[in-house]
């Protein structure tokens, strides 16, 4: 694999960019792999990458029914933060955030990580108390956050209206090393690194059955034939319940659509990410000038990957009092992704009732920010057969045992 650098760009410019090689190979499936990972989104590719980097396991296939990064990885709003209340959540998200900071160097691929800062507005007295509590918990967890007053909010975000008649801004939970990254580049960078290690990224290859013998996985049946494996990782986000059913077990998750939209591009006016959980809306500005806007997940189970008019109305109405200027913008495009929700709004990284089948799901609306930490923890689980420190609290059996990691109550929003 040729190394990307300023010198490589200059060299290729002189020869009309004729010397660039493919970023990753597109091989035919082999008969057998040590590990098969179903799902070539960010979490699946990160799992494969850390299997190779941390454990030297490179006889790996990453199987994707569509195209690489074409699911939720390419359909999110790119927010990265780690200011969660519960200790297990803070640990895995902070691991992910720290890995994002060096990801471009580690992968030799610019993922455009931007630590622009994320603030979560307190617009009620209850939120003030909640965010101050989170700030204290983060201090104990080693996660750098602080609670700031409305004047500091206005200083960081000049376009905000802090004296709204219904929802005035009373302060905010501020994490200055949080931010955003380019979602497609994260998937492409991991895929390129995996391919360079000799792993096979196989697109347009849908899994139709999981083959078992004596309660143990032996392989998968796909639209491109049977493929054997010693271990199987299932990392398919909103379609997790469907694939788990193929393996013969059920999971405590439900799939719903999460929608987002972007405005027409405008001049730079906001260089932080703002989340307003009381009204349930959030916004940032992309490098192209678009205002990236999102809100809550749909209130009913579905597998829809498109937008709807009522979501535009509800989300923009929620934000327009706090950001009056967006009332004059035109919408450029809208989309949806399929997210898998657990009852406590925390993920599952776990062994399953089928031997050597491991599952990573339930990230809900917070999957993108967790990609490197999730991959790190899932790779350790697959390689060792037992969860490491990052994953041990996220077992699927916690729901049977009542050991919830309740971020739905702690955060008020799962983004």
Based on the fold, state whether residues 241 and 273 are members of the same structural domain: no
Q: Is the pLDDT of residue 414 over 60?
A: no
Based on the fold, state whether residues 219 and 358 are members of the same structural domain: yes
Mean pLDDT of 110-127: 96
Mean pLDDT of 304-323: 87
| pLDDT at residue 362, as a whole number | 94
| pLDDT at residue 409, as a whole number | 54
- Domain containing residue 311: CATH number: 3.30.9.10
| pLDDT at residue 314, as a whole number | 87
Q: How many domains does the chain have?
A: 2
C-alpha distance from residue 387 to each of 236, 381, 382 (Å): 19, 5, 8
Based on the fold, state whether residues 237 and 350 are members of the same structural domain: yes
C-alpha distance from residue 94 to each of 27, 34, 145, 345 (Å): 35, 30, 12, 17
Based on the fold, state whether residues 260 and 406 are members of the same structural domain: no
Residue 5 lies in a domain: no
Based on the fold, state whether residues 393 and 407 are members of the same structural domain: yes
Confidence band of 272 (pLDDT split at 50, 70, 90) = very high
CA quadruple 338, 343, 345, 348: dihedral positive or negative? negative
Residue 13 lies in a domain: no
Based on the fold, state whether residues 165 and 67 are members of the same structural domain: no
Based on the fold, state whether residues 261 and 370 are members of the same structural domain: no
Q: Final residue of a domain: which of 283, 307, 340?
A: 340
Residue 203 lies in a domain: yes
Based on the fold, state whether residues 44 and 73 are members of the same structural domain: yes
Tell how strand 171-175 and strand 146-148 pair up: antiparallel
pTM of the model: 0.95
Q: What are phi and psi of 291, to 5 degrees?
A: -85, 115
Two structure tokens written together for 400: 């049977």
Two structure tokens written together for 335: 């989309």
| pLDDT at residue 382, as a whole number | 98
Mean pLDDT of 364-392: 96
Residue 61 lies in domain = 30-82+84-109+183-253+344-411
CA quadruple 109, 111, 115, 116: dihedral positive or negative? positive
Contacts (Cβ under 8 Å, ≥6 apart) of 310: none
User: Of 414 and 355, which is predicted with more confidence?
Assistant: 355
Residue 19 lies in a domain: no
pLDDT tens digits along 82-93: 999 999 999 999
């Amino acid at each position: 694999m040729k190394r990307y650098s300023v010198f490589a760009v200059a060299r290729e410019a002189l020869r009309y960019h004729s010397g660039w090689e493919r970023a990753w190979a597109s091989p035919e499936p082999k008969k057998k792999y040590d590990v098969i990972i179903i799902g070539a989104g960010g979490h699946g590719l990160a799992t494969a990458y850390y299997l190779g980097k941390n454990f030297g396991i490179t006889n790996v296939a990453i199987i994707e029914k569509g195209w690489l990064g074409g699911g939720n990885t390419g359909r999110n709003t790119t927010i990265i933060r780690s200011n969660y209340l519960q200790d297990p959540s803070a640990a895995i998200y902070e691991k992910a955030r720290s890995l994002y900071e060096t990801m471009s160097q580690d992968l030799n691929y610019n993922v455009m990580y931007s630590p622009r800062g994320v603030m979560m507005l307190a617009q009620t007295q209850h939120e003030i108390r909640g965010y101050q509590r989170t700030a204290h918990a983060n201090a104990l967890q080693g996660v750098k956050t602080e609670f700031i007053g409305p004047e500091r909010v206005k200083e960081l975000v000049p376009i905000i209206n802090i004296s709204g008649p219904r929802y005035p801004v009373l302060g905010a939970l501020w994490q200055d090393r949080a931010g955003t990254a380019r979602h497609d580049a994260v998937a492409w960078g991991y895929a390129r690194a995996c391919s360079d290690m000799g792993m096979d990224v196989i697109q347009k290859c849908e899994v139709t059955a999981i083959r078992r013998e004596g309660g143990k996985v032996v392989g998968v049946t796909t639209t491109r034939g049977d493929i054997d494996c010693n271990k199987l990782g299932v990392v398919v986000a909103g379609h997790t319940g469907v694939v788990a059913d193929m393996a013969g077990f059920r999971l405590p998750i439900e799939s719903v659509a999460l929608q987002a939209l972007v405005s027409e591009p405008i001049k730079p006016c906001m260089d932080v990410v703002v989340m307003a959980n009381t009204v349930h809306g959030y916004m940032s500005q992309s490098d192209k000038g678009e205002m990236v806007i999102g809100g809550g997940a749909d209130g009913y189970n579905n597998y829809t990957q498109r937008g709807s008019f009522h979501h535009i109305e509800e989300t923009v109405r929620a934000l327009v009092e706090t950001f009056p200027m967006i009332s004059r913008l035109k919408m450029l495009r809208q989309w949806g992704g399929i997210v898998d929700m657990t009852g406590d709004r925390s993920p599952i990284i776990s062994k399953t009732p089928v031997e050597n089948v491991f599952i990573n799901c339930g990230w809900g609306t917070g999957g993108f920010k967790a990609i490197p930490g999730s991959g790190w923890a899932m790779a350790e689980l697959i390689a060792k057969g037992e969860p490491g420190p990052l994953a041990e609290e996220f077992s699927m059996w916690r729901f049977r045992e009542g050991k919830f990691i309740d971020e739905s109550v702690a955060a008020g929003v799962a983004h």
